Each structure stands twice: as C-alpha cells, then as structure tokens.
Structure 1
Amino acid sequence: MKKRNKLPCVVSIAGSDSGAGAGVQADLKTMAAQGVYGLTVVTAVTAQNTKGVDRFEVLSAEMVAAQMDAVFTDFPVAAVKTGMLGNGEVVEAVASGLRKYRARNIVVDPVMVAKSGDSLLEKDTQQALEKELFPLSAVITPNIPEAEILCGEKIAGIREMKEAARVLHAAGPSYVLIKGGHLQSGELMTDLLYDGEQFFYYRAGRVFSNDTHGTGCTYASAIAAQLALGLSVPLAVLAARCYLQSILPCSPGLGGGCGPMDHFACRR
C-alpha cells in the first residue's frame, strides 16, 4: 500500500459566517490555500452577509468542548487559530481544552467587532480572553479598534501601537501583533510585532479595495498554517502578510456590501 503523506492539521475555533467571507469558512479556505488540513470547532452561528450581521447565537460551552474532544482525540493538531468566541463560558471551555490537549502554536484573533461594526461578543468575554487565552497563545492579532478596546487607549500611530503592544504582552502571549490597517496613514500600512524585547515592523503598500471582508480571520489563519508548517512567529507573520497582500486585489465581486476575497487567487 502506498504510504500517505500526512498534511499538518490546523484547527479553527471560531464562529460560522453564512456569507462565507469570514469565520470558519474563511479559515478553511485559507488553510487549504496554505497547504494544511483545516479542522473546525464552531463556537457560534451568525446570520450575516456582505452588508452586516443580522443576528448571532453562541453555542453552549458543552458543545464547544465536545467538538474539541472529537478533533483533538483523532487528529494530530499542529496549530490552533481562535476567532469569535462569543462569551466568557466559551472562552473558558476553549482554554480548558487547549490545556487538556497541550495545544501548541496557538494564534488568538480577539474578534470583537465585525467588519460592518456589529459587536460579536458578550460583555464578559474580554476579561476571559485576557485571563484564560492570552497566556496560552504564541501570538495574539488584534487590529487597531480591538487593541484600543483591550488597552483602553486611543491609537493614532506607531508610538501608541508600541505602547499597546507592551501592555498586551504583559497579559502573557509570547508575541503581540498589532495590525495597522485601520490607521489613516496614506498608501503605506505597518503591522507591528512585539516579543517582549524586540519590535518587528511589516510595511506594505495599502491595497485599496471595498472587498475586505474576512481579512483578520484570513491573516490569523495563515499565520497558524505557517506555524504548523514549521516557521517561527516572525517568519509566519511575514508569509501570512505576503499571502494576504496577494489576494486582497482579487475579489470575486460578490454581494452588495463589503465583499469577500478570492482565497485561491494566488494559486491560479
């Protein structure tokens, strides 16, 4: 019998997006494009499209834990990406499962607000994220609005990004990646990575597009995939950033609002 080549396995622990531009749907497409096998633990179901989120329902912590048991007892998980978790009970269940199975290469995308501006969590979630998940993570990936919520301070430029990174690193993650796309900085964007001692800067030309739904999910999933493939965090961020830059201009032109990207454009 021919020996099978085992693909690295990466699990997305996140919400479902009925428009398939973000959430576990975007994560699975990203992982496939990166050459890893994507698994899912669904934490919430959203009714959303390119125009916004109509409603969402968070699954029970017990159901989330059962999915984690099913995945981790049968698949050799090499990396984890968390996204929308919904409430504190789910965060605690996820953190407990990650500790139970000694998960590694954990990428925490602290999803708080959808691209449309709709809130995607309940009030107790932020404290649970900081207490339970941040200390387990290889890297957390807040955007500017999320970093402002987590730190309680406005971020207007690189100086404030660096200070926010220091504050967030004190919560326990190995690395903090603050994504600078929301800053009004002209044609150049800067993402900042911090490991507690050194800052890494990732600068790229701004891609002007209305179809950016799911960029945060895609970025974090690509980082997790690259960690599963053996890259260090700084190199995984670089590879994920290059991937995102390559697909941002490639939109299938779907929906009447902020549309999705073509996750496989770079492979065509």
Structure 2
Amino acid sequence: IAAVTSDIGIQAAKTGMLASSEIITTIAETWRTEGLAGTVPLVVDPVCASMHGDPLLHPSALDALRTELFPLATLVTPNLDEVRLLVGVEVVDTASQRDAARALHALGPRWALVKGGHLRSSSASPDVLFDGTEFHEFAAPRVDTGDDHGAGDTLAAATACALAHGYSVPQAVEFGKAWVTECIRAAYPLGHGHGPVNALFRLSV
C-alpha cells in the first residue's frame, strides 16, 4: 500500500478476502498512516462466508472487520450470509434488508450496501444502499444460471472502479450492478460446480 501510494497514486481501493485480524489491522493502520482515510474511496467487501453460507473467518477477524476496517470504509458490500455473521440480521425481505443496512451503517462506514442476490424469494436481485439517512434500491432481473461464482467480488470491484472515475456512491453502485448483471448473463461453465462470471462479456460474440 505504501509503495503504490508513493509511486503510482490511488484513486480508489477495494479489499476482499482478509484471512486474519492481524492482516485487517495492518491494512487499517497503513490506510491511516498513509493519509488515505477520508480522502480515497475504500470499498470493503467483507468476504467472511462461503457461497454456501459457511463462515470463512475466525471470530477475531470478524471483530477486526467491524472495529478496524468498517469505520474507514466508504462502502461495505456484504451478501446476506455475511450480513448474518457481521450484524446478526437474517434477511428475508426488503424490510429486514433495510434493518441490516442500518445495523451495518452503525458500525461506521459512510455507506452500506446489502446485496440481495441470495434472496431467492425475490424474482429480482434487489440491493439496498444506505447512508444513514436515505435508502437507494437497485434491482436487476435474476439470471437463471448456475455459473455465478465471483459475482459479489466483481460487483465490489466494478463499483470501486466507478468511484475512481469520480462517480458518486449511488452512481457507482448502479454501474457495478449493471456490470455484474452482464457478467452473469455471459457466464459459462468451467470445470465442475459453479463456473465464473464473465468480466470479458464485451468480447463475447
């Protein structure tokens, strides 16, 4: 982080899978000491549950996410299983999705996005964005595919790219949502199990 900050510069950043509390704390400390806190958009994708809902992180790492990294985040982007682990809210509909967004925002990020891709009761894929005052809702048609591995990571990365280009947070989330929807539409099977989303969908023929 220090090398990139001093040599290339950073317009936005995204975190993904952070395996331990030590790693999370080190990132948070470096973000502050490099003068990036509050000046460079930071998207925190709290990868702490598998696509089957199983926990991936030790409880101490979950605590570090909540107390060290979330307060530095411009935006946090958990899926529903990660929401349950982080704030204990079981999302089953739009009302509980909003409750979860409030609980996440209370941990310190400027914006909280509760993704609804795993909300199978909905015919759409509804996401709820909250800044402590106002809700924004984004929906996209649910794509019938078993090849959606990496959708959450791709959404967070696309949103971070839009923030780097100067988009507002709602505009960036809207861009990321549209981008990942096309990535899912263009997904293909690869090996056994879930295939990946296709971030090269613009090259598809």
Q: TM-score range by the shorter chain?
A: over 0.9
* Structure 2: gaps of 5 or more residues: none
Q: Deviations over 1:82-137 (max 9, x none)?
A: 01111111100000111122221000001012325554322211111111111111
Q: Which runs of 5+ in 1 are unaligned?
A: 1-67
Cα RMSD over matched residues?
A: 1.3
Counterpart-to-counterpart distance in 2, 1:166 and 1:249: 31
Offset from partner CA, 1:138-190 (integer Å, 9 cap, x none): 10001111111111131111111111111111111000000011112242121
TM value normalised by structure 2: 0.93
Call closer, same or farther: CA 1:267–1:234 in 2, change over 3 Å: farther
Q: How far did 1:71 drift?
A: 2.2
Residue in 1 that maps onto 2:75: 139
CA distance in 2, matches of 1:186, 1:76: 41
Could you tell me whether the CA contact under 8 Å between 2:12 and 2:161 is conserved in 1? yes
Contact in 1 for aligned 2:24/2:61 (Cα 8 Å): yes
SS in 2 for 1:84: coil
**2:203 counterpart of 1:254:** no
User: Could you tell me how far apart the structure 2 residues matched to 1:130 and 1:93 are?
Assistant: 14
The CA deviation at 1:261 is 1.8
The residue number in structure 1 matching 2:113 is: 177
Shift of 1:72: 2.1
CA shift in 2, pair 1:116/1:163, >3 Å: closer
Native 8 Å contact 1:87 1:123 kept in 2: no
Q: Deviations over 1:33-83 (max 9, x none)?
A: xxxxxxxxxxxxxxxxxxxxxxxxxxxxxxxxxxx2232221111101001
Partner of 1:216: 152
The structure with the larger Rg is 1
CA distance in 2, matches of 1:117, 1:169: 22
SS in 2 for 1:189: coil
More helix by share: 2
Q: What does residue range 1-268 of structure 1 map to in structure 2 within 5 Å?
A: 68-103=1-36, 104-117=40-53, 119-268=55-204
- The DSSP-based 3-state class of the residue aligned with 1:200 is strand
Larger strand share, 1 or 2:
1
Shift of 1:267: 4.4
Q: Relative contact order, CA 8 A, sep 6+: which one is greater?
A: 1
Aligned length: 201
Change (3 A) 1:158 1:117: closer
Q: Which amino acid aligns with 1:91?
A: I
Once the two structures are superposed, what CA deviation does each residue of 1:10-42 show, in whole Å capped at 9, x if it has no partner? xxxxxxxxxxxxxxxxxxxxxxxxxxxxxxxxx
State the match for 1:29 in structure 2: none
1:62 matched residue in structure 2: none
Amino acid at match of 1:198: E
